Amino acid sequence: MRKSIFIKRLYLSFGADTELWYTTRKNDSRLYSLFHVGFCPDYCPNVGMKAFVIDVTLPFLIFSIGWAKKRK
């Protein structure tokens, strides 16, 4: 479940998930993230706006904030 809104060029998002985020390692073990900060330089490449988004993940919660601008 995720709710996203645009306020002019500001992108805000809040979501909840039913499982923890994890990364699978080479030996097939899982590394679970209890706190994670990440970014996406082009959140929606198929639309007319380019949005730089920063995500913060806590157990079962996701917060995103970003800034959108028109594509050249």
| 27-69 confidence digits (pLDDT tens) | 999 998 889 898 888 766 677 778 888 999 898 899 999 998 8
pLDDT score for 52: 87
**Is residue 3's pLDDT more than 70?**
yes
Token digits for 23?
């990364």
What is this structure's pTM? 0.69
Listed in order, strand segments (DSSP E) in 2-60 are 2-7, 10-16, 21-24, 30-33, 36-40, 49-58
Instruction: State the amino acid at position 60 in one-letter form.
Output: F
Residue ranges making up the domain that contains 24: 2-70
CA distances from 36 to 2, 53, 71 (A): 17, 14, 29
Q: Whose structure tokens read 């699978």?
A: 24
Distance of alpha carbon 18 from alpha carbon 5, whole angstroms: 22
Q: Say how many domains are in the chain.
A: 1
> So what's the pLDDT on residue 45?
67
What is residue 69's predicted lDDT score, i.e. its pLDDT? Answer: 84
